[in-house]
Amino acid sequence: MIGLVRRQVRELHVPWLEAMARGERDPFKVLISCILSLRTQDRTTGGASERLFALASTPEEMASLTVEEIQEAIYPVGFYKVKAERIRSLSRTIVERYHGRVPDSIDELLRLKGVGRKTANLVVTLGWNKYGICVDTHVHRITNRWGYVKTRDPEKTEAALREKLPKRYWREINGLLVAFGQGICRPQSPLCSRCRIRDYCDRVGVVRHR
């Protein structure tokens, strides 16, 4: 199954994969980018992270900005007030409690206000190059459509995927699953006619094929 997904994704031209290839490896920038993209489609962020990082690219610099300055920089992403406050408080916490170094463990990251499992896993995998399984809404949706896991709870999906997926290729697989969800197994009107794994999918005959 993963092999088929891999072949499928190689045929796609997905912006997310380009971002992976460019490789944001600074844990702090990964963290802040995560906050910015919460409940927001990738293509709708409108250069917000670039504008913000031009103002401040370290926890120290970010902590010295006002909430208003952060808001102005990140508009028009949705939920900009909540996000600006979280970005400021996270930056301050990282400076004060962690001496400016973003934590590198899931458990430690989860103690931060504004950091949930998806964000914690992304920081750990992209920023620190350590094992993690990033379950965003795409990964949750597609693995449940396949019947690979069966639960409404993304946290349970993550636990199941940690069990079922091969451990060796976690970095590539994290990318493949998101790319597949964005490019083929989309939220509405999935491109079933182009899907390489439709024969194995629970939803054959249920979803609309295009």
Partner DNA sequence: AAAACGGGGGC
Partner DNA sequence: GCCCCAGTTTT
Q: Which amino acid is at 112?
A: L
Q: How far is the CB of 113 from DNA (least distance, A)?
A: 5
120 near DNA, judged by CB under 7 A: yes
Nearest to 27 by CA among 131, 118, 110, 124: 124
Nearest to 141 by CA among 126, 131, 154, 129: 154
What tokens were used for 181?
């969800």
Q: Which stretch binds DNA (CB under 7 A): 2-10, 18-26, 61-69, 184-192?
A: 184-192
100 near DNA, judged by CB under 7 A: no
Which helix (H) or strand (E) element contains residue 32?
helix 27-37
Among 187, 191, 204, 209, which residue interacts with DNA (rule: CB under 7 A)?
187
Among 13, 22, 99, 113, which residue interacts with DNA (rule: CB under 7 A)?
113
- The tokens 């962690």 sit on which residue? 98
Nearer to DNA, 129 or 137 (CB): 137
Of residues 46 through 75, those in contact with DNA by CB under 7 A are 46, 75
Q: How far is the CB of 64 from DNA (least distance, A)?
A: 23
Over the window 14 to 43, marking each residue x when it contacts DNA by CB under 7 A and - when it does not, the resulting string is --------------------x--xxxxx-x
Among 16, 28, 53, 80, which residue interacts with DNA (rule: CB under 7 A)?
80
Among 51, 81, 97, 150, which residue interacts with DNA (rule: CB under 7 A)?
81
Q: How far is the CB of 86 from DNA (least distance, A)?
A: 7
Q: Which stretch binds DNA (CB under 7 A): 4-12, 54-62, 109-117, 124-132?
A: 109-117
E-only strand ranges, the chain? none
188 near DNA, judged by CB under 7 A: yes
Of residues 134 through 163, those in contact with DNA by CB under 7 A are 136-138, 141
Nearest to 106 by CA among 98, 97, 114, 115: 115
Count of residues engaged in binding DNA, rule: CB under 7 A: 33
Phi-psi sector, 169: left (phi>0), alpha (psi -120 to 50), beta: alpha
- For 62, residues 6+ apart whose C-beta sits below 8 A from its C-beta are 28, 32, 56, 70, 87, 88, 91
| 3 state DSSP class of 30 | helix
CA gyration radius, the chain: 18
Q: Which residues bind DNA (CB under 7 A)?
A: 34, 37-41, 43-44, 46, 75-82, 112-120, 136-138, 141, 187-189
